[in-house]
Amino acid sequence: MQMPTPNQNVLSRKAQIVERLQGVLRDGAVIHSESEVRAYECDALTAYKCPPLCAVLPTSTEEVAAVLKVCHEMGVPVVPRGSGTSLAGGALPTADCVILGVARLNSVLETNYDDRYIRVQSGRTNLSVTGAVEAMDFFYAPDPSSQLACAIAGNVAMNSGGAHCLKYGVTTNNLMGVKMVLMDGTITEIGGAHLDAAGLDLLGLICGSEGQLGVVTEATLRILRKPEGARPVLMAFNDNEVAGACVADIIKAGVLPVAIEFMDRLCIETTENYAKAGYPDCEALLIVEVEGAPEEIDEQLALIKDIALKHDPVELREAQDEEEAARIWLGRKSAFGAIGQISDYMCLDGTIPVSSLPMVLRRIGELSDEFGLKVGNVFHAGDGNMHPLICYDANKPGDLELCEAMGAEILKLCVDAGGCLTGEHGVGIEKRDLMTHQYAQQDLDIQMAVKDVFDPEWLLNPAKVFPLDSSASRRIAAE
């Protein structure tokens, strides 16, 4: 993966930059020794690594503003970082950048059960947002697989989803407002604890902007009352495409399960060896979960099982109690980790219209044969958010490049099927060069011109999202 040439002028002033940053932060908040900055050299896209110039860990919005002001004045690029769980390299440093980590900004600022929102600092982890309100029987809906670790800052940056987003929507549907610091240090508030915005909807623009427009330090999030109960049913099929067709039929019927998850044989077998979830021997599994009062659950599951029976399932297993429900989910939640035990892998994140699931699954199988790389499919099928896991050997020369080439083919396939390069992981560096497959140059120009408004010097996360040659003139003009 090509990275931009680091700015020598910035590199040569490292000592001065560190000193200026130390002047605006508390002791210990600037990390600059060669050994310590290694902790920030990559995110969860571990194929790429680059230690930053230094890293800072501010503890307040005002400190974030002070850091950005210093970097703005000195022309230093800044890469914001939540918990570093990005699968797309969204928090990958450049050698000339300051990593701005929000991990110490993790307080709950306000909870309001009457108006159903919580206001948190952006470094708080996703799961601990729910943790702060669950005693009152509330929860925060978006649930990325990394929810134990990932920060709200990253969720906002990537517009993260999760298994239960079929019903509840992704981050943008649950985010009500942010406090954000612009690159010049200006603190601004966008949205709030109310419906809609007057004037332009900048909140929708900020969500999913991958840290390119500002550093979000606080977020106001919609919280929801926990449903009375939930129950999954596990459906086993002897054909990927048939399982895909079953998903399409459930969606078409207009029932709205809270989640429809898909796993193929590679994932089922690997997971079973690792987590012992008791999954059946089959080609494809669906986990379909519905929520509500017991009678509602019965009624919805009856309808869903009727649809499934038309597709000749090998097994239909409805959870009889909480323990069985937990076991059904255990396998799905362990899938990424299980695959990681047997192989290096790259996790893709394309979306497609649900009706093209069977075709896309077939074509991924063909690509796997053509490239000679195994692919596991485990993903949010209900909203067409695919997560093919391409297995490769990081120690075998050329295998990563082969894997990337195959990943590019799969993502182009998603776009050509009427879908999109990314559902919830973001573009980062991973899909940067594929943006030209989704967008015409004039579309990219408009997106980049919007970045110009917020960050005219292109100092914030400048080598992400856009193809390097498209953004080159802007980044160079800024130096």
Binders of its own copies among residues 393 to 452 (CB under 8 A) are 418-424, 427, 431, 435, 438-440, 442-444, 446-447, 449-452
**Minimum distance from residue 150 beta carbon to its own copies (Å):** 17
Could you say whether residue 113 binds its own copies (CB under 8 A)?
Answer: yes
- How far is it, in rounded angstroms, from Cα 457 to Cα 79? 14
Chain positions 278 to 297 lying near its own copies, rule: CB under 8 A, are: 292-293, 295-296
Binding residue (CB under 8 A) for its own copies from 40, 262, 336, 466: 466
Pair 77, 98: CB distance under 8 Å: yes
Contact between 454 and its own copies (CB under 8 A)? yes
Q: How does strand 54-56 pair with strand 98-101?
A: parallel
- From residue 19 to residue 38, what is the string marking binding to its own copies with x (rule CB under 8 A)? --------------------
Contact 376, 391 (CB under 8 A): yes
Min. distance of Cβ 356 from its own copies in angstroms?
Answer: 8
47: exposed, middle or buried (C-beta count within 10 Å: 0-12, 13-18, 19+)?
middle
- CB of 39: closest distance to its own copies in angstroms? 29
Nearer to its own copies, 263 or 357 (CB): 357
Work out whether 135 is an interface residue with its own copies (CB under 8 A).
no
Which residue number, 63 or 383, has a Cβ lying nearer to its own copies? 383
Size of the chain, expressed as the number of residues it contains: 479
Show the binding pattern over residues 136-155: x = contacts its own copies (CB under 8 A), - = does not.
Answer: -xx-----------------
Residue from 78, 251, 328, 381 touching its own copies (CB under 8 A): that is: 251
Closer to its own copies at the Cβ: 238 or 355?
A: 355
Given the DSSP bridges, would you call strands 187-191 and 175-181 parallel, antiparallel or unpaired?
antiparallel
Residue 478 is a binding residue for its own copies (CB under 8 A): no
Q: Whole-number minimum distance, CB 189 to its own copies, in Å?
A: 8
Q: Nearer Cβ to its own copies, position 227 or 340?
A: 227
Task: With contacts defined by CB under 8 A, name the span among 119-127, 164-172, 266-274, 339-347 that binds its own copies.
Answer: 164-172
Looking at the Cβ atoms of 165 and 235, the one nearer to its own copies is: 165
Q: To the nearest whole angstrom, how small is the minimum distance from the Cβ of residue 388 to its own copies?
A: 16
Site for its own copies in 371-390 (CB under 8 A): 383-385
The 3-state secondary structure of the chain, one letter per residue: CCCCCCCHHHHCCHHHHHHHHHHHCCCCCEECCHHHHHHHCCCCCCCCCCCCCEEECCCCHHHHHHHHHHHHHHCCCEEEECCCCCCCCCCCCCCCCEEEECCCCCCEEEEECCCCEEEEECCCEHHHHHHHHHHHCEECCCCCCCCCCCEHHHHHHHCCCCCCHHHHCCHHHCEEEEEEECCCCCEEEEECCCCCCCCCCHHHHHCCCCCCCCEEEEEEEECEECCCEEEEEEEEECCHHHHHHHHHHHHHCCCCCCEEEEEEHHHHHHHHHHHCCCCCCCCEEEEEEEEECHHHHHHHHHHHHHHHHCCCCCEEEECCCHHHHHHHHHHHHHHHHHHHHHCEEEECCCECCHHHHHHHHHHHHHHHHHHCCCEEEEEECCCCECCEEEEECCCCCCHHHHHHHHHHHHHHHHHHCCCECCCCCCCCCCCHHHHHHHCCHHHHHHHHHHHHHHCCCCCECCCCCCCHHHHHHHHHHHC
Q: Shortest gap between Cβ of 200 and its own copies (angstroms)?
A: 5
Site string for its own copies, 51-90 (x = CB under 8 A): ----------------------------------------
Cβ 31 to its own copies shortest distance, Å: 31
Taking the complex as a whole, the smallest distance from the CB of residue 193 to its own copies amounts, in Å, to: 5
How far apart are CB 403 and its own copies at their closest, in Å? 20
Binding status of residue 93 toward its own copies by CB under 8 A: no
Please identify, using beta-carbon distances, which residue of 31 and 260 lies nearer to its own copies: 260
Of 213 and 268, which has the nearer Cβ to its own copies? 213
Binding to its own copies (CB under 8 A): which residues in 173-232? 173, 186, 188-190, 192-205, 207-209, 212, 224-226
Angle at 85 between CA 81 and CA 91, to 5 degrees: 35
Residues of span 324-363 touching its own copies by CB under 8 A: 351-355
Question: Is 111 among the residues that bind its own copies (CB under 8 A)?
Answer: no
Q: How many residues bind its own copies (CB under 8 A)?
A: 82
For its own copies, which is the closer residue by CB, 156 or 378?
A: 156
Nearest approach, Cβ of residue 94 and its own copies (Å): 19
Asked if 82 and 151 count as a contact pair (C-beta separation under 8 A), the reply is yes
